[in-house]
Structure 1
Amino acid sequence: MLYDDQNIFARIIRNELPAIKVYEDDQVVAFMDIMPQAEGHTLVIPKTPAVTLLDLAPEAAAYTIQIVQKIAQAMEKALDIKGVVLMQLSGAAAGQTVPHVHFHLIPTSVHELGKHALHMGDQEKIKVLAEKIKAAL
């Protein structure tokens, strides 16, 4: 599949759309999911244009997963949680809704997960959670 540089995540990377960011460097950005499955649901995306995990260069994948781990550790500390569900959906058939590779970090047990993108989250509450995660980094 051809990469669409107008997808929502590409536009967030270019700062054309707002996001509640918790981390950013020259290769990766992490931000709060605005339609969370659980409080603190965070997305980690490489800045490299890639539709799915299979399209992502191995070096970018390796670096991104290191940041995924770093964000997950901060989430556990900041939100006082005991587990994080890591989810990566590659392709529409797998449930991927944005055509830019991304990793979901969801602070909850698998038995408590809500359906993704079902309801818009409370943006003020999401901002407070983001600040806690950033402080733990």
Structure 2
Amino acid sequence: MAYVYDDTNIFARILRGEIPNKTVYETEHTLAFADIAPKAPAHVLVIPKGPYVTYDHFCAAASAEEIVDFSRAVAEVVKLVGAEAHSGGKGFRAITNAGEHGVQEVPHFHLHILAGRNIGPMILSED
């Protein structure tokens, strides 16, 4: 599959400093910031700084350094919001949407970290 990155998307504009954000954590390859329409007491978006459209695109095309940096940034964000399930926190949900069926709204890979309350069932079935 060919991934075409749109560098006018809102996350690309945030990365260029054109749109402000409330940074939670930042590394060389990753930016984490508060969601502007939070769905939980803690709702942080974690994005790679590279031009990746979806999670599978990131996994296929990012360097090992970018992938490790992103993964460790996610761990740090979870720690910062106090949701580390393995060390006394009550846990979190991590969500990424990809493409039309995943209802992806911004064409830049991003991971939602939601915490601070029971997030509810993973998905509601359509019977």
TM-score range, shorter chain: 0.7 to 0.9
Name the structure, 1 or 2, with higher relative contact order (CA <8 Å, separation 6+). 1
Give the structure with the larger helix fraction.
1
Corresponding residue for residue 38 of structure 1: 40
Give how far 1:54 is off: 1.5
Which segments of 5 or more consecutive residues in structure 1 lack a partner in the other structure? 114-137
For 2:101, what is the secondary structure of its paired residue?
helix
CA distance in 2: counterparts of 1:22 and 1:58, whole angstroms: 23
From 22, 25, 37, the counterpart of 2:24? 22
* Aligned match of 1:98: 106
- For residue 120 of structure 2, what is the amino acid of its counterpart? H
Alignment of structure 1 residues 66-77 onto 2, 5 Å: 66-76=72-82
Deviation at 1:10, TM superposition (A): 0.4
TM-score (norm 2): 0.79
Higher strand content, 1 or 2: 2
CA RMSD of aligned residues (A): 2.0
Give the match for residue 109 of structure 1.
Answer: 118
Task: Show structure 1 runs of 4+ deviating over 4 A.
Answer: none
- Equivalent in the alignment of 1:82: 90
| Structure 2, unaligned runs of 5 or more | 123-127
Q: Give the AA of the match of 2:99.
A: G
Post-superposition CA distance 1:2-54 (Å, at most 9, x none): 10001000000111001111111221110000011112200000001010011
1:73 Cα deviation from its structure 2 partner = 1.2
Q: Which TM-score applies when normalising by structure 1?
A: 0.73
Q: Percent identity?
A: 37
Q: Does 1:5 align with 2:22?
A: no
